[in-house]
Amino acid sequence: MSDFRVPTLTRRAFIASAAALSAGAMLPLQSSARAAGIREFRLRAKHGRAQIAPEPYGDTAVWCYDGKLPGPEIRVRKGERLRIAVENALGEETTVHWHGVRVPNAMDGVPHLTQAPVAPGETFTYEFDAVDAGTFWYHPHQRSFEQVGRGLYGPLIVEEVDPVRVDRDVTWVLSDWRLTKTAEMRDDFGSRHDMMHNGRVGNTVTINGRVPDVFAVRKGERIRLRLINAANARISGLDFGSHAPVVIALDGQAVEPHAPEGGLVVLGPAMRADIILDMAADAGSRVSVIDRFYKDLEYRLVDLAYDDQPLRDTVPDWPVALPPNPLPEPDLASAARHEVTFNGGMMGAMVMQEMGGSMGDGSSGAMGGMMGSMGGMMNMMHSGGIWFINGVAAEGHIMDPMLTLARDKSHVIAMTNATAWHHPIHLHGHSFRVISRDGKPTRHREWQDTVLMSPRERVEIAFVADNPGDWMLHCHVLEHQAAGMMGVFRVA
């Protein structure tokens, strides 16, 4: 790690940070962050090779950062400022998006919308404050379906000033590859079939870039496991066997510690979960972690292999709740309301009929007008787009905003998934509370930046639009995004 990390805490910054400490919480966020010091990093996007499949398979040609898969873990402390020089040694344009980090618009890494794409041979330097502690990640926003799919991504961890006590803090970046029998990358990126169905789901799942065999643990050990789903399209639902994971953060944001619903830690593409895992099985035993998200397609992800020597006899009882990040609380009573409807894909027209779409009478409403009619659907298909947000299929990153949100005001966006497929919907520049699903209030009102919507589901999210600029809202199944499921919202 040390080869890409150049901490530069200058004497001036040190003095300033001491002053910031004594001034306490009175300082506004950005300036106290600035005072805490700048951490400098370098990332080089380039072609490389990685041992994805287990031996005796050979290695696989990938695109990656610094020759590593996943890219180097960028790890800073909350309140620090990051300066990251990204060099493009690929044969095509790229950018880097800091997924989930509440950055200023110009640092968001969206080609054409927030910056000119970084041409081959060029370097672009990103600079922003780590305002929130949590588990984030970075990836290109240019032709993501291929650039991310070939291996360009890495974890970005912002430590709490006062982290919860654990024995080990471990990051698992999950990814999914479509490999040939000789472990070469299938190069059918962006196929129309993947775009119309559930995206590029592969045949090889990795943890931190390798097909794992065992993960060594000790009885009595407490691990904070930071899970990041960096797959293009695969949704994971992890079952930790006899262990009882406790979710303490989602998408980097603290949540009331709780057992995951049905015992499965479910992560759509781009989503993260921090879990506390107490190693409560017997010394010398093995417990499999099984991914059960897709019915009848369960597979063993990895085995937790217990050492013969316990670390301690019982699991610790240290507190697990994380301190909250400084997120503005939306006021639901005064919030402006907006409707967003997703449709398209195979069987899309059928779902719209089922959900009560009108037959092309031009009426308004969530699925009214052209979106509601079978004929309208056919017209949309002929436009070349496959997926639509409020009836529009994106063709690039420059679009008229589909929503304009008054700055510093509270907003509720009611989102309807009028398709037969799952979609992890991501908003840039903000975290939002998930306040209801199918009309029922959520138990934890969790803060997220990416919310997984089931087929036909309606989800309401709420947030204060406090970050000015034009931001993306899109599905993080990268084939869906490429096939139109993307829009812009403006905060002004």
Token pair, residue 262, equals 């049905």
CB 270, min distance to ligand C2O, A: 5
Q: Is the peptide bond before 56 cis (omega within 30 degrees of 0)?
A: yes
Find which of ligand C2O, Cu ion, none residue 480 binds, CB within 5 to 8 Å per kind.
Cu ion
Does 423 sit near Cu ion (CB under 5 A)? yes
**Nearer to ligand C2O among residue 197 and residue 474 (C-beta):** 474
Q: Which candidate, 139, 132, 189, places its Cα nearest to that of 161? A: 132
Token pair, residue 138, equals 């970075």
Does 234 sit near Cu ion (CB under 5 A)? no
Does 482 sit near Cu ion (CB under 5 A)? no
416 close to 366: Cβ distance less than 8 angstroms: yes
State whether the Cα torsion 76-80-85-86 is positive or negative: positive
Q: Where are the alpha helices (DSSP H) in 297-400?
A: 348-354, 374-382
Cα–Cα distance measured from residue 462 to residue 91, given in angstroms and rounded to the nearest whole number = 40
CB 255, min distance to ligand C2O, A: 20
Q: Tell me the CB-side half-sphere exposure of residue 223, using CA atoms within 13 A.
A: 21
Does 477 sit near Cu ion (CB under 5 A)? yes
CB 430, min distance to ligand C2O, A: 12
416 close to 458: Cβ distance less than 8 angstroms: yes
Cα–Cα distance measured from residue 409 to residue 382, given in angstroms and rounded to the nearest whole number = 38
Token pair, residue 63, equals 């695109």
- What SS3 state is found at 258? strand
Token pair, residue 295, equals 């019915």
Give the residue, chosen from 42, 141, 200, 219, that forms a contact with ligand C2O under the rule CB under 6 A.
141
Whole-Å CA distances, 128 to 162, 252, 323, 411: 21, 17, 22, 25
Shortest-Cβ-distance residue relative to ligand C2O: 99
CB 98, min distance to ligand C2O, A: 9
CB 490, min distance to Cu ion, A: 22
CB 384, min distance to Cu ion, A: 17
Site string for ligand C2O, 378-417 (x = CB under 6 A): ----------------------------------------
Does 196 sit near Cu ion (CB under 5 A)? no
Cα–Cα distance measured from residue 220 to residue 282, given in angstroms and rounded to the nearest whole number = 9
Of residues 460-479, those binding ligand C2O (CB under 6 A) = 472, 474, 476
CB 419, min distance to Cu ion, A: 8
* Residues constituting the chain: 492
Does 270 sit near ligand C2O (CB under 6 A)? yes
Find which of ligand C2O, Cu ion, none residue 458 binds, CB within 5 to 8 Å per kind.
none
Does 272 sit near ligand C2O (CB under 6 A)? no
**Nearer to ligand C2O among residue 4 and residue 137 (C-beta):** 137
**Nearer to Cu ion among residue 368 and residue 424 (C-beta):** 424
CB 449, min distance to ligand C2O, A: 8
**Nearer to Cu ion among residue 43 and residue 473 (C-beta):** 473
Cα–Cα distance measured from residue 492 to residue 486, given in angstroms and rounded to the nearest whole number = 20
**Nearer to ligand C2O among residue 82 and residue 472 (C-beta):** 472
Does 99 sit near ligand C2O (CB under 6 A)? yes
Does 480 sit near Cu ion (CB under 5 A)? yes
Find which of ligand C2O, Cu ion, none residue 287 binds, CB within 5 to 8 Å per kind.
none
Q: Is the peptide bond before 269 cis (omega within 30 degrees of 0)?
A: no
Cα–Cα distance measured from residue 416 to residue 456, given in angstroms and rounded to the nearest whole number = 7
Does 430 sit near Cu ion (CB under 5 A)? no
Cα–Cα distance measured from residue 489 to residue 427, given in angstroms and rounded to the nearest whole number = 9
Does 480 sit near ligand C2O (CB under 6 A)? no
Site string for ligand C2O, 58-97 (x = CB under 6 A): ---------------------------------------x
Does 430 sit near ligand C2O (CB under 6 A)? no
Beta strand 123-129 with 38-50 is unpaired
Burial readout 185-205 (b: 16 or more C-beta within 10 A, e: otherwise): beeebeeeebbbbbbbbbebb
**Nearer to ligand C2O among residue 99 and residue 178 (C-beta):** 99
Amino acid letter at 129? D
Task: Please give the residue ranges that form the binding site for ligand C2O (CB under 6 A).
Answer: 97, 99, 139, 141, 270, 426, 428, 472, 474, 476
**Footprint of Cu ion (CB under 5 A):** 423, 475, 477, 480
